[in-house]
Amino acid sequence: MRFTPIRPPHLRPAVSVTRVMSEVLIALVPATIAYVWFFGPGILINMAVCVTVAALAEAAVLAARGRTALPQLADLSAIVTAVLLAFALPQLTPWWVTATGAAFAIIFAKQLYGGLGYNPFNPAMAGYVVLLISFPVEMTQWLPPAGMDLAGDRPGLGASLAYVLNGQLAAPLSWDVVGGATPLDDVKTQLGLMRTVDEVRSSPLYGDFGARGWEWINNFIAIGGVWLLYRRVIRWHIPVAVLLGVIIPATVFYAADPGHNASPAFHLFSGATMLGAFFIATDPVSAATSDRGRLIYGFGVGLLTYVIRAWGGYPDGVAFAVLLMNMAVPAIDHFTVPRAYGHER
Amino acid sequence: MAEQSQLWRFHGGLELPAHKSSSTSVPLSTVRLPSLLTHPLSQHIGSPSEAIVAPGDYVRKGQPIARATGYIGSPVHAASSGTVVEVGPHPVPHPSGLSADCVVIKTDGRDDAYQGYDPLVNYRTLNAPALRARVRECGIVGLGGAAFPTSVKLNTGARLKSLILNGAECEPFISCDDMLMRHRAEEIVAGAQIMLHALETNHCCIAIEEDKPESHESLLRALSVVGDKRIEVVRVPALYPEGGERQLIQVLTGNEVPAGGIPADIGYLCQNVGTAVAVARAVLRGEPLISRIVTVTGAGVVQPRNVEVRLGTPICHVIEACGGYADAARYLIMGGGMMGFPLRGDQLPVIKATNCLLVASDEDIRPRSPALPCIRCGDCATVCPAQLLPQQLYWHTRGEDFEQVENLNLYDCIECGCCDLACPSHIPLTQYFRYAKAEIWSQRRERQRSDIARDRFEARNARLESEKSERARRLAEKTRMLQTGAADPATKQALIDEVMKRVGEKKHSPSEESGNQ
């Protein structure tokens, strides 16, 4: 009897990268629905553009590197990057802006570093930051959420498509009518004009504890995140640390001067806090690796987010915070090697 | 038995499919004696034994056929009576796949018993060295798979807090300890009592995983008959690799065995339950270790079951006793589904360490899917019972940065395979770590060899240098003496004679000069 040689262990993993990535995509479905509910179908168009460009870019680079495209596209990591980037963009973004971001994320931030697993920076955030700096106008034209009378008509699917394709709002609409600042932007500007938080928050832009519409999207993102925790796709250290990194300084400053600092709840449920905590900072490739390292990394992301929001030049800081902490990861990993079994504490 | 003692957790681990029910649902049976028994001389960790029989010798069942050499060693005994037909190299079940010296016995079917070991029923009157000597002369080694000589382990030097009998048996497919605990609980208890006496220790804890209720019941019954308050049965959660002694000690005591140390350093000693039975038989009945229970399982065997096998029996004979191979048989593995190693053929003998023969099909062992790049998810570190960072170890192993690999405590890796199963990128991590360990060892040997060569070279240079300067010094001295003593012809003549004499000596022994070159 001849037997086939084989190396232990002989049981096989039940998990796969594809499964991990598809769970992340599934976890974003509720938030996507909420997004469409409050802000119209623009995000779906952004997603379509992002996914198409990301997949093409990934396939093109892999072909150029002499690799087969299919197994690597099937890991869905490029799709996750694309969808997360789409979440970060304004609802109506001209397609070339979106495409530039997706292509930069995949080609420069991911594949040129060696592809999946080798990128030191979060590709979606790298793509987003490039767009924020290169297209400051397009990247700051946000729609107000549904339910605000001052907004007039929100663009429907047709109008959205038309804008995405040619960068012009269709005749009756104009950015003066439909556009507006995001609440984070608004708070920043208004506080700069020496108004108090209470005065600012009387605007219909604001909801129960955060920004109108955004607070619900944040809720659904958090629910998706909890589902990922339950499915063990992500672990608790990073999300909890990010949220603490935002809550702690927000609470301190809010307690010290509630008139001039937004509340912790506002910070949690506005902007990209939840997306950052559960979906962006948890990208394992660019995050720290040990439990302790992840707590430090996450806390850093949260803290920097607050710092940039409160004192920086941009209304939201998640993308910059994540990229800055990405830079710190090798150092964090170096100093947080866990104690191995049987070694001195 | 009072209430369950407090339990701790070890880091990581995995809940794995047990794959044990097919082999435990059939009663234990005995494999009949084969016509040839092959006894490898080295079945244990330590120095190989030395054959004390020659071809043509008649041996009885239980007669020693090889003696231990060195302190960490163990003798080997004939598993049945018959004639020694050969002492020489044969393939043995070892991960290396190499051959080693074996004693081959042609059995006569009479099972004539050797009477060399008296039963020591009153072992309580004996001291620890005497008991250890009996355990040693009966060839008892750890039967959990590592086969470390038990007598050496029993010589702890310091007083122990507790003796731990390991009945966790966490590895998929293996069920020989489960069957042993179900059927030989009294002997396990007897073995525990003997070892407690030999260790002068007052507490023994028998650990059983929760998924073996029959074993638990059976041990409780056996204990209630004996009524020994020193022995406690503890159920531990079923979690792989809890059967690893370091993990089991952590679960039972909350303490960690120091890296590079042994359990006795913190006052514990771990023995497999099968070893306890072997000890009991060696002491109470004077039976050396000549048989063991082996789990034969997997979809590749017709009747998966546990069998009692004489050591030295060819594996094909054991498989035949279990109904032979099924069509699906594709892999033959000694050990379980996580750490078992492949065997090249089924002519190899069952040895002391053979706890399980897994005849696996393609269903049991699916092919590995191609590895993707590491996404640094860290799930490998989450499941690692040694609290290592497999992903970092993998990264540095790929980069051949073995210094960093050692800094990250590669040598604490127990090769349990948990990281492999947790990896979404399907990277064969354990294989990388085995490679890294082997590579570091060979580099270290290489370095030692080159160190020795360099030392030699430098020593030779220094010697040549000192010889040269010595010669120059002597020449200078002679020259000076010739010049200063030129006035005195007698001195001059004496010097010339001396030189001529030395030249003459050198002519007769030319090797002295050339030998120095």
Report CB contact under 8 Å: A20, B333: no
Minimum mean pLDDT range among A279-283, B258-262, B298-302: B258-262
Of A4, A5, A290, Cβ closest to residue B381:
A290
Average pLDDT estimate for B438-448 = 90
> Over the stretch B170-196, which tens digit does the pLDDT of each residue have?
999 999 999 999 999 999 999 999 999
The CB-side HSE value for B96 (13 A sphere, CA atoms) comes to: 6
Q: Which of A286, A274, A284 is nearest to A246 (CA)?
A: A274
Of the given ranges (A230-234, A328-332, B486-490), which has the lowest mean pLDDT? B486-490
Report the 10 Å Cβ neighbour count for A336. Answer: 18
Contact B196, B204 (CB under 8 A): yes
d(CA B66, CA B38) in angstroms, rounded, equals: 13
CA distance B52 to B368: 46
Local structure of residue A324 (DSSP, 8 states) = H
Range B10-14 average pLDDT: 93
pLDDT at B211: 92
Q: What is the pLDDT of residue A312?
A: 85
Looking at CATH, the fold of the domain delimited by B21-321 is given as Rossmann fold (3.40.50)
The reply to whether A22 touches chain B by the CB within 8 Å rule is no
Q: Residue B232 has what DSSP assignment?
A: E
Indicate the helix (H) or strand (E) that contains B334: strand B331-334
Please state, for a pLDDT cut of 90, what percent of chain B lies above it: 80
Cα–Cα dist A122/A322, whole Å: 7
Average pLDDT on B1-19 reads 81
DSSP strand pairing (B36-40 vs B99-107): antiparallel
Q: B116 pLDDT exceeds 80?
A: yes
What local confidence, expressed as pLDDT, does residue B362 receive? 92
Between CA B202 and CA B193 the distance in angstroms is 9
Ranges for all domains in chain B classified under CATH 1.10.1060: 374-517
Name the DSSP class of A330.
H
Predicted local distance difference test score (pLDDT) of residue B501: 85
Mean pLDDT of A116-137: 94
Q: How many CA atoms lie within 13 A of A165 on its CB side?
A: 7
Chain B residues 347-366 with CB within 8 Å of chain A: 358, 360, 364-366
Q: In whole angstroms, what is the distance from residue B30 CA to residue A29 CA?
A: 60
pLDDT on residue A181:
65
Tell which wins on pLDDT, A271 or B45.
B45
DSSP designation for B237: -
In this structure, how many other beta carbons lie within 10 angstroms of the beta carbon of residue A279?
25
Q: What is d(CA B131, CA B151) in angstroms, rounded to the nearest whole number?
A: 9
Pairwise CA distance, residues B325 & B331, whole Å? 11
Q: Which of B369, B374, B377 has the highest number of chain A CBs within 10 A, making it the mutation to test binding with A?
A: B377
Q: Chain A partners of B373 at a C-beta cutoff of 8 Å?
A: 114-118
Of A199-203, B72-76, B295-299, B316-320, minimum mean pLDDT range: A199-203
The residues, ordered by sequence, that sit 6+ positions from A26 with a Cβ below 8 Å of its Cβ are A227
- For residue A316, the model assigns a pLDDT of 82
Q: What is the pLDDT of residue A70?
A: 80
The H or E element spanning position B490 is helix B489-508
Summarize pLDDT for B341-353 with one digit per residue, the tens: 999 889 999 999 9
Give dist(CA B153, CA B264) in Å, integer.
9
Q: Which of B376, B380, B393 to mutate to test the interface with A (most CBs of A within 10 A)?
A: B376
**Residues in CB range of A174: below 8 A, 6 or more apart:** none
Question: What is residue A68's predicted lDDT score, i.e. its pLDDT?
Answer: 82
How far apart CA B86 and CA B423 sit, in angstroms, is 48
**B 400-439 near A (Cβ less than 8 A):** 408-409, 412, 415-417, 420-426, 428, 430-431
- Cβ contact (<8 Å) for A235 and B364? no
Q: Which of residues 5-64 of B touch A (CB under 8 A)?
A: 10-11, 16-17
pLDDT (0 to 100) of residue B156 = 84
User: What's the mean per-residue pLDDT of chain A?
Assistant: 87
The per-residue pLDDT for A261 is: 86
Confidence of residue B515 (pLDDT cuts 50, 70, 90): very low
Q: Is pLDDT of B220 > 70? A: yes
pLDDT at A167 over 70: yes
Q: Is the dihedral of CA B264, B269, B271, B276 positive or negative?
A: positive
Contact A11 B421 (CB under 8 A): yes
* The pLDDT of residue B450 is above 50: yes
Answer yes or no: is pLDDT of A217 > 80.
yes
Query: In angstroms, what separates the C-alpha of A4 from chain B's closest C-alpha?
Result: 5
The pLDDT of residue A46: 94
Interface of A with B in 99-138 (CB under 8 A): 114-118
CB of A334 less than 8 A from some CB of B: no
Q: Is the pLDDT of residue B512 over 60?
A: no
Nearest beta carbon to residue B339 from set A8, A115, A341: A8
Ranges A37-41, A106-110, A145-149, B63-67: which has the least confidence:
A145-149
Q: What is the pLDDT of residue B98?
A: 86
Strands (E), B57-133: 58-59, 64-67, 76-77, 82-91, 99-107
Task: Show residues of chain A in contact with B369, CB under 8 Å.
Answer: 12, 16
pLDDT band at B5, cuts 50/70/90? confident
Interface test with A, best of B249, B389, B406, B430 (most A CBs within 10 A): B389
Residues of A in contact with B261 (CB under 8 A): 342
How far is the C-alpha of A213 from the C-alpha of A205, rounded, in Å? 9
Residue B148 to residue A69: CA distance in whole angstroms: 51
Inform me whether the pLDDT recorded for A150 exceeds 80. no
What is the model's pLDDT at position A148? 57
- pLDDT value at residue A50: 97
Query: Is the separation of the CB atoms in B199 and B154 below 8 Å?
Result: yes
Q: How confident is the model at residue A73 (pLDDT cuts 50, 70, 90)?
A: confident
Alpha-carbon distances of B104 from B53, B57, B65, rounded to whole Å: 10, 11, 10
B375/A284 CB distance under 8 A: yes
Using CA atoms, how far apart are residues B485 and A30, in angstroms rounded to an integer?
A: 113
Q: Does B383 touch chain A (CB under 8 A)?
A: no
Distance from CA of A344 to the nearest CA of B (A): 8
Q: Which of A10, A17, A62, A234 to mutate to test the interface with B (most CBs of B within 10 A)?
A: A10
Q: What is the 3-state secondary structure (H, E, C) of B238-297?
A: CCECCCCHHHHHHHHHCCCCCCCCCHHHHCEEEEEHHHHHHHHHHHHHCCCCCEEEEEEE
Segment A206-211 shows an average pLDDT of 67
Cβ–Cβ below 8 Å for A16 and B369: yes
In tens, the pLDDT along B377-416 reads 999 999 999 999 999 999 999 999 999 999 999 999 999 9
At residue B50, the 3 state secondary structure works out as strand
Selected residues 283-302 of chain A with any CB under 8 Å from a CB in chain B: 284-285, 287, 289-291, 294
pLDDT number for residue B3? 46
Give the model's pLDDT for residue A153: 60
pLDDT in tens, A11-42: 999 899 999 999 999 999 999 999 988 888 88
Residues sharing a CB contact under 8 Å with residue B320, sequence separation 6 or more, in sequence order: none
pLDDT of residue B516: 45
Least CB-CB distance to A9: which of B257, B378, B430?
B430
Of A170-174, B292-296, B353-357, the one with minimum mean pLDDT is A170-174
Instruction: Write the pLDDT tens digit of every residue in B117-173.
Output: 999 999 999 999 999 999 999 999 999 888 999 999 999 877 899 999 999 999 999
Which of B172, B258, B424 lies at the smallest CB-CB distance from A11?
B172
Q: Is B217 on the interface with A (CB under 8 A)?
A: no
Q: Which residues of B touch A285 (CB under 8 A)?
A: 375-376
Buried b (16+ CB within 10 A) or exposed e, B286-305: bbbbbbbbbbbbbbbbbbbb
Q: Are B156 and B190 in contact (CB under 8 A)?
A: no
More confident residue, B337 or A151: B337
For the segment B47-66, the average pLDDT, to the nearest whole number, is 94
Q: How high is the ipTM of this complex?
A: 0.87
Listed in order, the ranges of chain B carrying CATH 3.40.50.11540 are 21-321
Read off the pLDDT of residues A285-325 as tens digits, 9 standing for 90 and up: 999 999 999 999 999 999 999 999 998 888 888 999 999 99
pLDDT at B2: 41
Determine the average pLDDT of the residues in A75-82: 94
- Which class in CATH covers the domain with range B374-517? mainly alpha
Listing from the earlier edge strand, what are the strands of the sheet with B29-30?
Answer: B29-30, B305-310, B291-297, B356-360, B331-334, B341-342
Chain A residues closer than 8 Å to B332 by CB = 1, 3
On the CB side of B63, CA atoms within 13 Å amount to 20
Q: Which helix (H) or strand (E) holds B434?
A: helix B429-484
Q: What's the average model confidence in pLDDT over A138-166? A: 72
Is residue B218 scored above 50 in pLDDT?
Answer: yes
Size (chain B), residues: 517
Q: Which residues contact B429 (CB under 8 A, 6 or more apart)?
A: B380, B390, B393, B394, B419, B420, B423
pLDDT at A170: 63
Mean pLDDT, range B264-289, rounded to an integer: 95
Secondary structure class of B137 (helix, strand, coil) = helix
Q: Would you place residue B514 in the very low, low, confident or very high pLDDT band (cuts 50, 70, 90)?
A: very low
Spatial separation of the C-alpha atoms in residues B211 and B400, rounded to whole Å: 42
The CA-based diameter of chain A, rounded to the nearest angstrom, is 87
- Please, what is the average pLDDT of chain B? 91
| Among B290, B291, B75, B281, residue whose Cα is nearest residue B194 | B281
Alpha-carbon distances of A238 from A246, A334, B176, B259, rounded to whole Å? 12, 18, 44, 30
> Is the bond preceding A9 in cis, omega lying within 30 degrees of 0?
yes
CA–CA separation, B363 vs A51, rounded Å? 37
Q: What is the pLDDT of residue B517?
A: 42
Type of residue numbered B438: A
In 3-state terms, chain B is what percent helix, strand and coil (to 5)?
40, 20, 40
